[in-house]
Structure 1
């Protein structure tokens, strides 16, 4: 699929809509955006072990040991170069990162039918960011994402990874959207599956040591009992995992929450009138 984002020009897939809210017009989302890029986020929890004092101390210590030319080069790389890039972006001489992926309008998510939201997270508890068990956990998260995205029949609809700003709580969070609870249970309890092996290792080896903590929460969402709004955002959350639709009205949360019940009622009325 072409990597250009058609929603930059406000294009939508028309379905001969008669809906005043345009909720049956689907905004196309390129398939590559649905892939959860793990990237450097796997190393982000290590920064919970580092404070600004550490960084200042390292800089001062390096200035005492390294030649002036080396200090100058490092200063350019870590200070001047990012500053120049930001100035160029300020004057629109350089595009902002991922700016072409922004949906420059107001939109909502549409997911017909029941679905499940599954949250899973972890945080380091030990003093060593290079502890093998925590590195193994990072690898398990990566393998879990690859496994889910490679199997279109699992019932997994999509998800994304986030790093928490509160170091007291979860440092890594993976938000997943599933078609139903049975599919989620089938995947998590699949013998020799990625999740099954990771949990088994934690229970048998890492649980007693307590070098890292893990948690999860599961929510069953009944058909239509949700609402969402996104403005000038790239596809994210439920809209990315399912479908993005235009939202043309302001302060329309109540109508979005009632959308499915109204559609069902209209369908019942239509079928009833058709049999008369």
Structure 2
């Protein structure tokens, strides 16, 4: 029997959407460098997460991501411990993001309107997120944390918003 599940995370989170708009698809020489930068950043973040779990490095706060591809370009949904962690990572000169961002601006000035980038940041308080997963692979917040039976956080979305993890009942 398939059981309804929800994510286990109870604290605040930050959701960061990052996208690229390919305005001139016939000019991959203008947009491909920006496109190639994202896998390097994600690789660095996943490596940091793994190394921090092993005690080898301080955790940057990145929990995980999911990439989507649309007609105009990619979008990456990232989950972070906090908005402060996002902004701290973005400004680190010894990490992949800051040099890539500066290079993007240099290229964008030379070739305006060929490629666009955008982002949205959502600071989600501890009582401001809920989820449900039924007969689907782990994804989203459930994939970057872990899944628990729905009954641990409430049977309805309204109950899960603002819930604390409840003791499971047999």
Tell me the TM-score range normalised by the shorter chain. Answer: 0.7 to 0.9
SS of the residue corresponding to residue 162 of structure 2 reads helix
Partner of residue 68, structure 2: 162
Partner of residue 186, structure 1: 88
2:20–2:35 contact (8 Å) kept in structure 1: no
Partner of residue 203, structure 1: 105
1:144 aligns with 2:50: no
Structure 1 alignment gaps of length 5 or more:
1-9, 11-103, 264-276
1:119 aligns with 2:17: yes
CA distance in 1 between partners of 2:154 and 2:160 (Å) = 11
- Deviation (angstroms), 1:171: 2.3
1:222 aligns with 2:107: no
1:259 aligns with 2:156: no
CA distance in 2 between partners of 1:202 and 1:235 (Å) = 33
SS of the residue corresponding to residue 191 of structure 1 reads coil
Alpha-carbon distance change, 139 to 127 in structure 1, aligned in 2, over 3 angstroms = closer
RMSD: 2.2
- Deviation (angstroms), 1:146: 0.6
CA distance in 2 between partners of 1:127 and 1:141 (Å) = 18
Post-superposition Cα deviations, 1:234-261, rounded to whole Å, max 9, x if no partner, equal: 110001111211125996111111313x
Partner of residue 54, structure 2: none
Q: Which structure's CA Rg is the greater one?
A: 1
CA distance in 1 between partners of 2:117 and 2:80 (Å) = 20
SS of the residue corresponding to residue 4 of structure 2 reads strand
Structure 2 alignment gaps of length 5 or more:
50-58
CA distance in 2 between partners of 1:217 and 1:122 (Å) = 12
> Looking at both structures, which has the greater relative contact order when contacts are Cα pairs under 8 Å and sequence separation is at least 6?
2
1:107 aligns with 2:5: yes
2:154–2:160 contact (8 Å) kept in structure 1: no
CA distance in 2 between partners of 1:258 and 1:136 (Å) = 42
How is 1:1-276 mapped onto 2 (pairs within 5 angstroms)?
Answer: 104-128=2-26, 131-152=28-49, 153-164=59-70, 167=71, 170-207=72-109, 208-248=111-151, 252-260=156-164
Structure with more helix by fraction: 1
Question: TM-score w.r.t. structure 2 length?
Answer: 0.82
CA distance in 2 between partners of 1:148 and 1:235 (Å) = 20
- Deviation (angstroms), 1:120: 0.2
